Amino acid sequence: MSPEFIVLLMFVGLFIGIFFGFPTAFVLGGLAMIFGVLFSGPEVFGFFIVRLEGVMKSYTLLAVPLFLFMGVFIEKSGVAERLFSSLYLLLGGLRGGLGISTIAISALFAAATGVVGASEVTIGLMALPAMLSRNYSKSLACGSVCAGGTLGILIPPSVMIVVYGPIANISVGKLFLGAVFPGVLLALMYIVYIAIRCYFKPQDGPPMPLSEREVPLSRKLFLLLTSIAPPVVLVFAVLGSIFFGIAAVTEAAAVGAIASILLAAIYGRLTYQVLKEACIQTLQITSMILMIAVAASFFATVFVSLGGDDVISNLFLNLPLGKWGILFSIMFLLIIVGMFIDWIGIVFIVVPLITPIAEALGFDPIWFAILVMVNLQISFLTPPFAYSIFYLKGITPPEVRTTDIYKGVIPFVGLQVIGLASCVLFPNLITFLPGLMIK
């Protein structure tokens, strides 16, 4: 059987399994075992053992549970509630002020948690009722929470970056720095959009009544400073230690985890129950990621042994489109795949296939990797499997319909595409900070 036909069968089986709701890890591992036994024989069991050992011994992947643990504790420390209350008073008098506050908190909380679900649910439970009770447009309120929540996988320290680095054989520290400006750019674009929309359509984001924000400016600034300083110091300590070469990513993650516990203690939220929940939640998410990592690594090994990587590389490199046309094709493919597979599956399945293609075309590996991650922002907002929409729908009141959420995210998808195009046209947005990193 030709390698082309084997590749086709493997991908058909992959999409059928995922589409019917089977766990991604079992689909990947099962297909790898079936095709490995059929076409490689008993040696496929050796492939599995080697890949299992490789993932379990990965020092970089050890940062995944540490960053997750840090994010859970930041979530439970009360930082988000304090920050929202401060911005609520400071910006509530502006048209669209609560929407702008939602994006600002999302960006900061994304840097502290690194996970979309935690960011979106926590902020959505606070911001959405506040906006709806003040007659904000349902679509704008929902779109702000959804778009802000997706920043959790891009703004460092992000779990996706920690996972992506070892797969593409790229420094996680450099990827962290490369993602800073694109993440900030997207957040600023969201804020500008909300401000412009509410300026021309005040009914979509009316300002808060004066009676609700009659607090001295000095008090507002004090509340803002005391609520924003701890998480900012925490995030900059983690990223700064990496930037200046003081600590490796895993070591910085350990420092962040300890600091998050201290932060929860300072806010009076450190209890046995919180510690227990944080450990259980971290274990659950880490187990899922590592199971997929092992299965995807096994799948990739079998795929390569059967010649699948050559088939994919030849397919793209022989397209009569030139290097930029091929790049556009890859980005478009990621958008389509992102409609059906979550980011974890895409990173483990697709990235090992497209990274060698980018290298063959002469693209900077860090620049290309961040482009992929910016692209994956879109996958959270594009149906049918738009995870950000599902997260929000789970916490919305009955009067908010799914169609309201869909209408709300459409403008933000457009902004994400513009942000992606900006990173292509201005590569220094990505490559500037990594180029300054102290080795």
Torsions phi, psi of 360, nearest 5?
Answer: -65, -30
CA atoms within 13 A on the CB side of 270: 10
For residue 118, the model assigns a pLDDT of 65
Distance between CA atoms of 318 and 247, rounded to whole angstroms? Answer: 43
What's the domain range around 356? 3-436
Distance between CA atoms of 154 and 152, rounded to whole angstroms? Answer: 6
pLDDT tens digit sequence for 357-412:
899 889 999 999 999 999 988 888 887 667 788 778 877 888 888 888 889 999 99
**Which residue ranges in the chain fall short of pLDDT 70?**
1, 80, 111-118, 211-213, 384-385, 437-439
Cis preceding linkage at 157, omega within 30: yes
Domain count, the chain: 1
Distance between CA atoms of 296 and 342, rounded to whole angstroms? Answer: 14
H or E element that contains 376: helix 365-379
For residue 431, the model assigns a pLDDT of 92
Rounded to 5, what percent of the chain is helix, strand, coil? Answer: 80, 0, 20
Distance between CA atoms of 194 and 246, rounded to whole angstroms? Answer: 39
pLDDT tens digit sequence for 75-125:
777 776 777 777 777 777 788 888 898 898 888 777 666 666 667 777 787
Distance between CA atoms of 9 and 12, rounded to whole angstroms? Answer: 5
Contacts of 434 (CB under 8 A, 6+ apart): 171, 174, 175, 177, 178, 366
Other CB atoms within 10 Å distance of the CB of residue 62: 17
| DSSP secondary structure of 24-63 | HHHHHHHHHHHHHHHHTGGGHHHHHHHHHHHHHT-TGGGH
For residue 252, the model assigns a pLDDT of 82
- Going by the DSSP 8-state scheme, the letter that residue 438 receives in this structure is -
Distance between CA atoms of 296 and 12, rounded to whole angstroms? Answer: 16
Judged by DSSP in three states, 255 sits in helix
